[in-house]
Structure 1
């Protein structure tokens, strides 16, 4: 099997939330609270990872820009701390060079258009820093694009949103349609002249979740040349997991327990010990007796590798074998299928698909072949690529 290119991993968020952005210890599997470290990436066959530069969408946009820059910095520092294992990558050729050197290619995806602060200049600067995709929204609308998590307001994109999409594709930055409303998916595809991406989404025909992609959009990926990277998030994969999650949230609030989100954690101040930075309450107080009683009476439903394989297979059947990939969303969720508990689990999914008759050539396309093609086509379509080392635009 070829190395896997995964479309979405939130380890940078966890580094900020739990460790004050310290990148120490990733060469060892000593942190069970994380899904990701170097030994498990190697065991899972991950050859390239889009690291998510995520900050919450309710943040004021200027604050979001600063926090996103800190996330990008963390990705660079992580790669620099383990130069024998990670290599920053900005092109398809960079990815393949990393593989030839026995390294894991590190790419950057920016999760949420709020991090652009409605500025094409900010977009261009992130492109110069090596950001290779931007998710148009997260869980809130921007002024120019509708999110899947709120009632539609713009019928997808307004003129400013269409301008953002065009500029992204001019720069060679992939337009990521995970998290956006269905109308936004169609509006972006109407504008797109290069392949688009779903970095971590499911298929709606098997599970009618707002974060999943309907078949009419999957069918349009064939003409666009884009890729849907199927996610492992259990509530996106399984109706029973979604229902359990909703019921657990209801019980949590009924008991008056504190939010599991909390405030976005600050980064360390200059000269401050990262260990002294207050941690984000990313781990809920699950030990509360009342909630433990509810959990005992309402066990979490088991979601399986086979359930994920069903999603991948449906996407292949509708969009075509050339338009699928994987975006696990590790370290961005606590709800994962059995057997896909961390980044070491990818071979179990490939074994399941092989057992269903998938050919080695088709599994190679799923693993990385399709995403390498999308990267190359995006680079070819760009009039002024903006990753490090390329020319810079003087456009406004």
Structure 2
């Protein structure tokens, strides 16, 4: 049951891949599919602010990346237009707060690794015109802009085009996301960034030694920019035996980030992929990352389980005001500051 604190708090999720599932349908079904399949889960979870990443699966890369990117952005606009009584696609702080004040879910578009742009940094402005307000430069592998964490052995920072992309994002007002970026790339960004950063879905490497997680030094670095680290709920990033991951493991990661980075610099980036991947991946195939995407913390395989996190944090003795910062207050502050 949803706690009263959860009900009266602003709840923000900075990474849900639901657009992949929406865009897989014929366009005529986009609005209804979102309304029937995903909206009830968001409402049950008390989500008020939802970042929607555009992620392009390997099957579209490289030739179809840009087309699928545009298709997913269009899907976001269409589902928002078709469900105006419940959601609003927001471009700035005023629109976010207007949506929240009207009791609607504020949706914010994000790009995960900017697929399809190649090294054409000038097209970041095009993405901004289309409503993108959060973006990262890499996923698991190499892009013309940077290396993902799966390529950490290269020791590579941002390319010259990647540096130009960071500067362009800061100029336009697109929040820079370090999740998935390689370790040397994160260090490079921390040297160059002039605005607060976000990690939309990254857990603590001190508790689970996986390249997708952030070290304590990186956590402190993001906090020093004024940014927020949003903890990933993906079971394989919480515990090395992913099918044994529990709510307590997740809470451990959240508390660790809060202790290292500070209570004002932690949020939630659940990365709810179980339903999406189960639906879109043929049963014949194994996931290429070596982790089981269907493994989930019991009760936390989708947005409806989010009140469990609030209850768990309260059960550990955290004060109400700190819990409210973690479950959404910090992310809301960051986005409204940077998208002012």
Common topology (TM > 0.5): yes
Give the direction of change, closer, same or farther, for the CA distance of 1:58–1:38 in structure 2 (3 Å limit). closer
Give the whole-Å Cα distance in 1 for the aligned partners of 2:245 and 2:107: 29
More helix by share: 2
Post-superposition offset of 1:203: 0.7
Alignment TM-score, normalising by the size of structure 2: 0.87
Instruction: Name the SS of the counterpart of 2:148 in structure 1.
Output: coil
Aligned partners of 1:92 and 1:376 also within 8 Å:
yes
Give the match for residue 22 of structure 2.
15
Alignment TM-score, normalising by the size of structure 1: 0.75
Match of 1:27 among 8, 27, 35: 35
Give the whole-Å Cα distance in 2 for the aligned partners of 1:58 and 1:40: 28
Give the match for residue 220 of structure 1.
221
Instruction: Name the SS of the counterpart of 1:228 in structure 2.
Output: strand
Give the whole-Å Cα distance in 2 for the aligned partners of 1:83 and 1:376: 21
Match of 1:366 among 326, 330, 339: 326
Give the match for residue 349 of structure 1.
309
Q: How does 1:183-194 map to 2 (within 5 A)?
A: 183-194=184-195
Point out where structure 2 has 5 or more consecutive residues left out of the alignment: 1-5, 277-292
Greater RCO between the two (CA within 8 Å, min separation 6)? 1
Give the match for residue 93 of structure 2.
92
Instruction: Name the SS of the counterpart of 2:245 in structure 1.
Output: coil
Q: How does 1:112-123 map to 2 (within 5 A)?
A: 112-123=113-124
Post-superposition offset of 1:123: 0.4
Aligned partners of 1:144 and 1:159 also within 8 Å:
yes
Give the match for residue 255 of structure 2.
313
Post-superposition offset of 1:340: 0.6
Q: Are residues 1:330 and 2:272 paired?
A: yes
Instruction: Name the SS of the counterpart of 2:149 in structure 1.
Output: coil
Q: How does 1:182-331 map to 2 (within 5 A)?
A: 182-241=183-242, 301-331=243-273
Give the match for residue 282 of structure 2.
none
Q: How does 1:139-218 map to 2 (within 5 A)?
A: 139-153=140-154, 155-218=156-219
Give the whole-Å Cα distance in 1 for the aligned partners of 2:153 and 2:166: 19
Give the whole-Å Cα distance in 2 for the aligned partners of 1:51 and 1:239: 27
Q: Deviations over 1:277-335 (max 9, x none)?
A: xxxxxxxxxxxxxxxxxxxxxxxx33211111111000000000111111111135432
Post-superposition offset of 1:156: 1.5
Give the direction of change, closer, same or farther, for the CA distance of 1:114–1:153 in structure 2 (3 Å limit). farther
| Aligned residues: CA RMSD | 1.7
Give the whole-Å Cα distance in 2 for the aligned partners of 1:154 and 1:378: 30
Give the whole-Å Cα distance in 1 for the aligned partners of 2:117 and 2:321: 38
Post-superposition offset of 1:358: 1.1
Post-superposition offset of 1:223: 1.4
Give the direction of change, closer, same or farther, for the CA distance of 1:58–1:135 in structure 2 (3 Å limit). farther
Give the whole-Å Cα distance in 2 for the aligned partners of 1:370 and 1:347: 17
Give the whole-Å Cα distance in 2 for the aligned partners of 1:306 and 1:367: 16
Post-superposition offset of 1:158: 2.3
Give the whole-Å Cα distance in 2 for the aligned partners of 1:216 and 1:318: 9
Post-superposition offset of 1:59: 4.7
Query: Which structure: larger Rg?
Result: 1
Match of 1:340 among 296, 300, 303: 300
Instruction: Name the SS of the counterpart of 2:221 in structure 1.
Output: helix
Aligned partners of 2:51 and 2:109 also within 8 Å:
yes
Aligned partners of 1:194 and 1:224 also within 8 Å:
yes
After the TM superposition, which of the residue ranges 212-221 and 107-116 deviates more from structure 2?
Answer: 107-116
Instruction: Name the SS of the counterpart of 1:155 in structure 2.
Output: coil
Q: Deviations over 1:136-181 (max 9, x none)?
A: 1012211231111125446221222111111111111011111111
Give the direction of change, closer, same or farther, for the CA distance of 1:41–1:379 in structure 2 (3 Å limit). closer
Instruction: Name the SS of the counterpart of 1:370 in structure 2.
Output: helix
